[in-house]
Amino acid sequence: MALTSNLRLFTAALLMYAGLTTSANHCPSCGTTPVPYPLSTGPNCGDQSYKIRCDAGSLKFDTLNNTYSIATITPDIQRFVIQPSSFVPNTCVTSDISTMGIQMNSSLPFNITSSNTIMYLNCTTTLLNSPLNCSSTSLCHSFINSSAQVSACQSAPICCTFRAGGSTTSYMIRVRDAGCRAYSSFVNLNPTLPVNRWPQPGLEIQWVSPSEPVCGTQADCDSNSTCGSDVHENGVNRCFCNSGLRWDPIQGLCAEIVTCQDPNGCNGGSKNRTALIAGLTAGLGTALFAAIIGALLYKRHRRIKEAKERLTREREEILNAGNTGKSAKIFTGKEIKKATNNFSRDRLLGIGGYGEVYKGFLSNGTTVAVKCAKLGNTKSTEQVLNEVRILCQVNHKSLVGLLGCCVELEQPLMVYEYIPNGTLSDHLQGPNRGHLSWNHRLFIAHSTAEGLAYLHFSAMPPIYHRDVKSSNILLDEKMNAKVGDFGLSRLAHTDLSHVSTCAQGTLGYLDPEYYRNYQLTDKSDVYSFGVVLLELLTSQKAIDFNRPSDDVNLAVYVQRMVEEERIMDVVDPILKEGASRLELETMKALGFLAAGCLEERRQNRPSMKEVAEEIGYIISVATAKDVEKVD
């Protein structure tokens, strides 16, 4: 008896031990549903930042004030789908209206993806002014006309449709009495299909790639990783993968670095080829000598190639050391030449003080913008790599992403994500500037300010842009603003003690204090951003010789108008036309904010963080009382 019970205990302990070492990170299945890493249903499994709940055999996702069932999980794309709230029977109201719909904690690593098409139902008339599609042809009308579940909504005449995942909808789908009272959502909806072939309603949520697991001691890590301190988070230790292995955030373990894609093995190929060359030529006695030379040359070629590959890998490792999620690549000169069709003229996107920008197509189908970096020619490759490393860690939705760099050609090249829709400057100056509604302009101002505030306050070390202007603000196809060219500005810490006599920045945007002390600070970016705000407000150029001579400089011109209490006279007539009283008020408020940014003395200017908050406040005033807006 005693023996068997001891044996049982022993077996149980063994099982527990095995369970801990092989899958310490993974949570057990919930009912029959596997729970992939990093999702966590308990304090001892998964990653604690990724909490969900297992409730009576089914998975639940808790938002700030509500709970939704998880319908499906797709770990390899790091997404799951939740079931949206049901409707209060026989009404066009979703039952989560009491919690204002879906409100997620934006500090957690989950957000709503842009694969969701949202139907907003039973909306107030104020929604008709919103940028959402609330027209009578909008998809939501087909939905309520042909779906029995929402037939109650036919007596609620206003509904709207939009794609989620913009800056205001990545953490909430808001329903409330003063806006829309119900919603439904569809993942990857093909709008050309008839309603009866639409998928079940669902809201897709994405999780951010998890970092390595947190550890207290080495005992918390498996044999493939070592507990060490995280340079990016003070006082946090993580299980970092041992050399030769890399962190796989999808499997949640350390995996071998795969460099060889050849299923027949990597070394076999070269041996066979060398042997083949040798064999063929050896038969022809006279060619024996040539064969040996050939084989030697081939080996040498291979060795050089391998050395180069190793160097690239090592550089990428330096670049990506401690990088969270996003990885920078070292491109070879050959890849860049191929991508830009050998820097062909018809790929030239623009020329500026910084050099030239080319459009390129990488072999994986990504479209990129390739820029010659304006880095001093005294800088070494190491310096360039180090600077790129810092830039690669700069990752914010309002900044153009840096994908990598190339230091192989004479001039260092930076490879950026390609933003298709031109610059803010193009949009403001064109005859179609009316398309940029006041709301659009506020959102552009807000995301630009957020991007710059991120550079000033969240990048380590801080980065001052030094060339903020409307032609450096790119717009994507959804008119979201992304700040570009911050990679070409020099990093803040390199220049503090250094007096440069060569003027930086652009005429019309340049901080007047620069002329006094030849230094640019974060407040110089605030000044330049103030000029951008004026451009948004007036649709005029920063420098325009067609204006009377004392008004050539937009900042000077508007400051004069502010002093004469005529600020509304400079606002673009297209914006004022048909604007509500509230909108006119918000234009005035933005005008005063711009004037604050343009203060002569740096210490009187607000910080970029304050500017971003102020614009956020202006937007909330506009949206709270006037219309419900989602970009």
Give catalytic residue positions: 467
Q: What residue has token string 């230790």?
A: 237
Whichever of 451 and 508 has its CB closer to ligand NAG, that residue is: 451
Q: What are the angstrom distances between the C-alpha of 385 and each of 80, 314, 340, 374, 464?
A: 37, 11, 22, 14, 19
Whichever of 107 and 286 has its CB closer to ligand NAG, that residue is: 107
Asked if 522 and 496 count as a contact pair (C-beta separation under 8 A), the reply is: no
Whichever of 138 and 439 has its CB closer to ligand NAG, that residue is: 138
Peptide bond into 249 cis (omega under 30): no
Binding of ligand NAG by 145 (CB under 6 A):
yes
Cα-Cα-Cα-Cα dihedral sign, residues 330, 335, 339, 345: positive
DSSP 335-375: HHHHHTTTT-GGGEEEEETTEEEEEEE-TTS-EEEEEE---
Asked if 485 and 472 count as a contact pair (C-beta separation under 8 A), the reply is: yes
Binding of ligand NAG by 233 (CB under 6 A):
no
Indicate the angle between helix axes 438-457 and 522-538, nearest 10 degrees.
Answer: 170
Size of the site for ligand NAG (CB under 6 A): 37
Q: How far is the CB of 306 from ligand NAG (least distance, A)?
A: 22
Q: Which residue in 79, 108, 295, 350 binds ligand NAG (CB under 6 A)?
A: 108
Q: What is the total residue count of the chain? A: 631
**Helices and strands per DSSP (H, E), number in the chain:** 14, 25
Binding of ligand NAG by 126 (CB under 6 A):
no
Q: What are the angstrom distances between the C-alpha of 348 and each of 55, 341, 343, 372?
A: 57, 11, 8, 12
The region of 133-141, 399-407, 409-417, 498-506 touching ligand NAG under the rule CB under 6 A is: 133-141
Binding of ligand NAG by 130 (CB under 6 A):
no
Q: CA 168, 169, 175 angle in degrees (round to 5)?
A: 105
Q: What residue has token string 């005294």?
A: 378
Binding of ligand NAG by 579 (CB under 6 A):
no
The region of 222-230, 231-239, 299-307, 517-525 touching ligand NAG under the rule CB under 6 A is: 222-230
CA distance 61 to 57: 13
The region of 216-224, 364-372, 434-442, 590-598 touching ligand NAG under the rule CB under 6 A is: 216-224
Q: Which residue in 67, 151, 155, 381 binds ligand NAG (CB under 6 A)?
A: 155
* 299 is known to lie in a ligand binding site: no
Whichever of 7 and 195 has its CB closer to ligand NAG, that residue is: 195
Site string for ligand NAG, 358-397 (x = CB under 6 A): ---------------------------------------x
The region of 25-33, 87-95, 365-373, 450-458 touching ligand NAG under the rule CB under 6 A is: 87-95
Q: Which residue in 192, 196, 223, 286 binds ligand NAG (CB under 6 A)?
A: 223
CA distance 129 to 504: 42
Q: How far is the CB of 224 from ligand NAG (least distance, A)?
A: 4
Q: How far is the CB of 93 from ligand NAG (least distance, A)?
A: 5
Binding of ligand NAG by 64 (CB under 6 A):
yes
The region of 85-93, 443-451, 500-508, 612-620 touching ligand NAG under the rule CB under 6 A is: 85-93
CA distance 598 to 508: 12
Q: How far is the CB of 222 from ligand NAG (least distance, A)?
A: 4
Asked if 383 and 371 count as a contact pair (C-beta separation under 8 A), the reply is: no
Q: How far is the CB of 40 from ligand NAG (least distance, A)?
A: 12
Which tokens belong to 559?
């400051």
Q: Which residue in 33, 100, 552, 579 binds ligand NAG (CB under 6 A)?
A: 100
Neighbours of 534 (CB within 10 A): 25
Q: How far is the CB of 302 from ligand NAG (least distance, A)?
A: 26
CA distance 626 to 179: 10
CA distance 70 to 67: 10
Q: How far is the CB of 245 from ligand NAG (least distance, A)?
A: 6
Binding of ligand NAG by 170 (CB under 6 A):
yes
Whichever of 217 and 497 has its CB closer to ligand NAG, that residue is: 217
Indicate the angle between helix axes 554-563 and 581-597, nearest 10 degrees.
Answer: 120
Binding of ligand NAG by 93 (CB under 6 A):
yes
Q: Which residue in 160, 152, 131, 213 sits closest to 443, CA to CA?
A: 131
Whichever of 94 and 489 has its CB closer to ligand NAG, that residue is: 94
Indicate the angle between helix axes 381-392 and 288-320, nearest 10 degrees.
Answer: 50
Contacts of 233 by beta carbon, 8 Å cutoff, 6+ apart: none
- Among positions 3-42, residues that touch ligand NAG (CB under 6 A) are none
Q: How far is the CB of 535 from ligand NAG (least distance, A)?
A: 26
CA distance 416 to 323: 17
Site string for ligand NAG, 240-279 (x = CB under 6 A): -------------x-xx-----------------------
Whichever of 94 and 528 has its CB closer to ligand NAG, that residue is: 94
The region of 52-60, 136-144, 492-500, 585-593 touching ligand NAG under the rule CB under 6 A is: 136-144
Q: How far is the CB of 520 from ligand NAG (least distance, A)?
A: 30
CA distance 357 to 400: 14
Largest distance between two CA atoms of the chain: 104
Q: CA 554, 560, 566 angle in degrees (round to 5)?
A: 105
Q: Which residue in 67, 135, 367, 458 binds ligand NAG (CB under 6 A)?
A: 135
The region of 26-34, 90-98, 231-239, 577-585 touching ligand NAG under the rule CB under 6 A is: 90-98
- Among positions 397-426, residues that touch ligand NAG (CB under 6 A) are 397
Whichever of 141 and 163 has its CB closer to ligand NAG, that residue is: 141
Q: Which residue in 59, 152, 172, 442 binds ligand NAG (CB under 6 A)?
A: 152
Cα-Cα-Cα-Cα dihedral sign, residues 445, 450, 451, 456: positive
Q: How far is CA 414 from the centre of its chain?
A: 18
Binding of ligand NAG by 65 (CB under 6 A):
yes
Q: How far is the CB of 577 from ligand NAG (least distance, A)?
A: 19
Residue ranges of the binding site: 371
Residue ranges of the binding site for ATP: 371
Footprint of ligand NAG on this chain (CB under 6 A)? 64-65, 91-93, 99-100, 105, 107-108, 111, 122, 133, 135, 137-139, 141-142, 145, 152, 155-156, 165, 170, 177, 181, 191, 206, 208, 222-224, 253, 255-256, 397
